[in-house]
């Protein structure tokens, strides 16, 4: 699994390893954790998860990417 850091993860297009090109993604709330809300980004075409992000509640401006 690719571990890249995206500065702006709310971009409408991300690279999909399955489609082998930049694709439009769907953002959805995956789970609410004690440390914040985790969002999942999946490819609009094949549904492959292309990334996720954790938005902390303490400081919503700080986005931690894994
Ligand atoms: Zn895809």
Written as tens digits, the pLDDT of the chain (66 aa) is: 555 555 555 557 899 999 999 999 999 999 998 888 999 999 999 999 999 988 886 655 555 565
Q: How far is the CA of 63 from the centre of ligand 1 (A)?
A: 24
Q: What pTM value is reported for the model?
A: 0.63
- Nearest partner of 25 among 45, 39, 7, 55, judged by Cα: 45
Q: Are 57 and 64 in contact (CB under 8 A)?
A: no
Residue keyed to tokens 């996720």: 52
Q: How far is the CA of 14 from the centre of ligand 1 (A)?
A: 9
* Residue 17 zone, left/alpha/beta (φ > 0; ψ -120 to 50; rest): alpha
- Phi/psi of residue 50, nearest 5 degrees: -105, -5
Q: How far is the CA of 62 from the centre of ligand 1 (A)?
A: 28
Residue 24's pLDDT is 92
Q: Are 27 and 10 in contact (CB under 8 A)?
A: yes
């Amino acid at each position: 699994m690719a571990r890249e850091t995206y500065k702006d993860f709310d971009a409408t297009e991300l690279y999909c390893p399955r489609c082998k090109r930049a694709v439009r993604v769907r953002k959805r709330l995956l789970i609410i954790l004690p440390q914040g809300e985790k969002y999942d980004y999946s490819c609009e075409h094949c549904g492959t998860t292309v990334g996720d992000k954790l938005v902390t509640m303490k400081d919503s401006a700080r986005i931690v990417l894994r």
